Structure 1
Amino acid sequence: MKKPTAKIREEIARLQEQLKQAETRDAERVGRIALRAGIGEIEVEEADLLSAFEEVAGRFRGETKLAQGGKPATTPPNGVGEVSGQSAET
């Protein structure tokens, strides 16, 4: 039996509220971490900060990004190892 449209709309509204709450929790968590790291005290353009956050997110996801010179620069998810040809030990 198919669900009535009203039931589906209620589910969507409930899920949208859950998403909003989850996003708020995530934003508060990241914001607290950023403040502890001193980001709040730095004068930086929002676009530059967004770009830096995207790079960090990619690093923890293990994504490959082209380094300067067009060579792939990969960083393991734990952040340890070789990055852009430089060993973590140097």
Structure 2
Amino acid sequence: MKKPSSKIREEIARLQEQLKSAETREAERIGRIALRAGLGEIAVEESDLQAAFEELAAKFRGKGGKATGRKGGADTGSENGDAGAKVAAGASADGAGEV
């Protein structure tokens, strides 16, 4: 038997909340690591930081190669690279997220 559309919408909403929570956890983790590494104290353009995160992600994926510093410029595979860069850049402005 097929699910009614209202049940499907409820399931989609529940999954979107789970995705949002998972992305928040991942961004906070990456942000804390970036702050411990001292990125919060460095004045750096967000595009440069994005490029560095893309290169780092490629290194750990075993792909190597140059990053462009633009969204979609390197194959990050997900939005997590963006989230990490935003947290790291945002966290440096207000110091939040340090554990």
Q: TM over 0.5: same fold?
A: yes
Identity %: 74
- Deviation, 1:64, is 3.5
The structure where helix makes up a greater share of residues is 2
User: How many residues are matched?
Assistant: 66
C-alpha RMSD over aligned residues: 0.9
- Deviation, 1:23, is 0.4
Aligned to 1:49: 49
- Deviation, 1:65, is 1.8
Aligned to 1:10: 10
In structure 1, stretches of 5+ residues that fail to align are 67-90
Aligned to 2:30: 30
Matched residues in 2 for 1:30 and 1:65: separation? 21
Matched residues in 2 for 1:29 and 1:65: separation? 25
The structure where strand makes up a greater share of residues is 1
1:39 equivalenced with 2:52 (yes/no): no
Matched residues in 1 for 2:41 and 2:64: separation? 30
Rg: which structure is higher?
1
4+ runs of 1 displaced by more than 3 Å?
Answer: none
Aligned to 1:72: none
- Deviation, 1:43, is 0.4
Give 2:14's aligned amino acid: R
Give 1:16's aligned amino acid: Q
Matched residues in 2 for 1:64 and 1:51: separation? 13
The CA deviation string for residues 61-86 of structure 1, in whole angstroms up to 9 with x for no partner, is 111426xxxxxxxxxxxxxxxxxxxx
Structure 2 residue matching 1:21: 3-state secondary structure: helix
Greater length-normalized contact order (CA 8 Å, ≥ 6 residues apart)? 2
Structure 2 residue matching 1:65: 3-state secondary structure: coil
